[in-house]
């Protein structure tokens, strides 16, 4: 097995990543520590919200106690129901503008160098909506073959412009017919060749050291570090190299944003890369003599540069620096915490913001609305309300 090349912190093995979680300051609550309830949770909130069409399961961030999310807690979102595929019968077909089209069984992919890295994946529809509570995000250690290496074996032709990735999950589209029958649209996403050949992309068959569960794309899925979840195609069955622009149902209609440019111009564009974001995951307290000690903790991820710092504001006061406790890798979230010694009885509003090495700051909701109009890509600051008894 090879470690992932070329990025700080990414050479560690899976054992090292999982071991780091065991000693992590945000680790499971101590015997004398307890959660302080948030006042902004809907009593009807359920992490496992919907079974199918779409399948929706959030990661309850109050359970965040390690850099690596257990597969059983990892968020799930897909447009249809969960597929149960036969690994023996499954094949990955690679065709189009390649010199050597291929039809690969899982055993063929397993012959490649096995690479692994921790990657945070966030659904582009992840928000602070009470039904979601910013829980459509999680981090796992993914293992698989380099996408670039597999495509290179097929020999890309010079005219190939895009790589289209198609899953086995399909949806009938009654608005269109093909051959007298409703057109069936596979869930797919395309990338420019330059993006597809980036060294971090994986054809992944393992999650946290075990084969993918059906919910997470068994037997094979695409893992694209730094991209929103709609591009991380599950149940991957086909890669087509084309010389035109793919405009599948989701890419052309469902996953779009209006973005503001200088001069008052707004442009429609497909959603692509994660944006800089942080969340307050939980508040805890423990007895210290006659009083309690309080701690605020959370996670931050995304953006175009390494996260430099996390700042926290309480009740509209000054921004204060939090401590970064753990970096799980350059493509994964950082976990942070801050002591809150002056916590007083009553209700409080707590909000965090991430700042990266380029000086970019996670926006407020009002600032975000000036840059982007969308019900997706919501990376705005998320004020939390907590009640101290």
Per-residue confidence band for 208, with pLDDT thresholds at 50, 70 and 90: very high
Please indicate, yes or no, whether residues 140 and 281 belong to a single structural domain of this protein.
no
pLDDT of residue 43: 84
- Is the same domain home to 287 and 227? no
Q: How far is CA 223 from CA 88, 115, 157, 229, 244, in A?
A: 22, 12, 24, 9, 23
Report the CATH number at residue 173.
3.90.420.10
CATH of the domain at 307: 2.60.40.650
Distance CA 362, CA 206 (A): 32
H-helix or E-strand containing 375?
Answer: none
Q: Are residues 206 and 283 in the same domain?
A: no
Q: Are residues 17 and 114 in the same domain?
A: yes
- Interior CA angle at 205 toward 202 and 206, to 5°? 100
Residue 34 maps to a domain: no
With tokens 């850099």, the residue in question is: 67
Give the percent of the chain with pLDDT over 70: 89
Domain boundary among 192, 222, 257: 257
- Looking at the fold, whether 290 and 227 belong to one and the same domain comes out as no
Identify the domain containing residue 68 by its residue range: 2-24+48-257
Query: 82 and 209: one domain?
Result: yes
Same domain, 200 and 303: no
Do 173 and 305 fall within a single domain? no
pTM here is: 0.89
Number of domains in the chain: 2
Radius of gyration of the CA atoms of the chain, in A = 22
Q: Name 361's bridge partners.
A: 355
Both 173 and 247 in a single domain?
A: yes
Q: Which two tokens stand for residue 282?
A: 């939980």
The H or E element containing residue 57 is strand 55-57
Digit-coded pLDDT (tens) for 46-64: 999 999 989 999 999 999 9
Same domain for 349 and 250: no
**Would you say residue 252 has pLDDT above 80?**
no
For 119-145, letters b (16+ CB in 10 Å) and e give bbbbbbbbbbeeebbbbbbbbbbbbbb
Across 143-157, average pLDDT: 98
Strand 236-242 to strand 210-211: parallel, antiparallel, or no bridges (unpaired)?
Answer: unpaired
On whether both 253 and 319 belong to a single domain, the answer is: no
**Domain final residue pick, 227, 257, 287:** 257
């Amino acid at each position: 097995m090879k470690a992932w090349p070329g990025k700080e912190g990414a050479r560690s093995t899976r054992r090292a990543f999982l071991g780091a979680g065991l000693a992590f300051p945000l680790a499971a609550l101590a015997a004398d520590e307890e959660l302080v309830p948030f006042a902004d949770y809907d009593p009807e909130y359920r992490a496992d919200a919907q079974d199918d069409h779409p399948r929706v399961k959030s990661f309850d961030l109050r359970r965040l106690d390690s850099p690596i999310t257990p597969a059983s807690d990892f968020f799930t979102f897909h447009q249809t129901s969960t597929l149960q595929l036969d690994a023996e019968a499954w094949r990955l077909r690679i065709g189009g503008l390649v010199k050597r089209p291929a039809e690969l069984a899982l055993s063929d992919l397993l012959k490649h160098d096995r690479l692994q890295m921790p990657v945070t994946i966030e659904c582009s529809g992840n928000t602070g909506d009470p039904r979601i509570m910013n829980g459509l995000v999680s981090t796992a250690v993914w293992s698989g073959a380099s996408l670039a290496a597999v495509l290179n074996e097929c020999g890309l032709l010079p005219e190939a412009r895009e790589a289209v990735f198609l899953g086995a999950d399909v949806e009938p589209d009654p608005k269109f017919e093909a051959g007298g029958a409703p057109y069936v649209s596979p869930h797919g996403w395309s990338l420019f060749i330059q993006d597809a050949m980036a060294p971090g992309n994986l054809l992944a068959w393992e999650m946290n050291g075990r084969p993918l569960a059906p919910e997470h794309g068994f037997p094979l899925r695409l893992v694209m570090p730094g991209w929103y979840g709609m591009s991380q195609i599950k149940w991957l069955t086909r890669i087509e190299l084309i010389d035109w622009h793919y405009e599948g149902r989701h890419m052309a209609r469902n996953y779009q944003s209006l973005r503001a440019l200088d001069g008052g111009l707004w442009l429609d564009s497909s959603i692509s890369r994660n944006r800089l974001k942080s969340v307050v995951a939980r508040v805890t307290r423990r007895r210290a003599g006659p009083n309690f000690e309080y701690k605020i903790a959370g996670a931050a991820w995304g953006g175009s540069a390494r996260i430099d710092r996390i700042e926290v504001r309480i009740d509209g006061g000054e921004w204060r620096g939090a401590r970064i406790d753990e970096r799980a890798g350059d493509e994964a979230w950082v976990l942070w915490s801050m002591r809150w010694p002056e916590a007083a009885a009553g209700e409080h509003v707590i909000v965090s913001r991430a700042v990266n090495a380029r000086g970019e700051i996670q926006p407020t909701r009002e600032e975000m609305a000036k840059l982007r109009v969308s019900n997706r890509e919501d990376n705005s600051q998320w004020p939390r309300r907590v009640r101290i008894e």
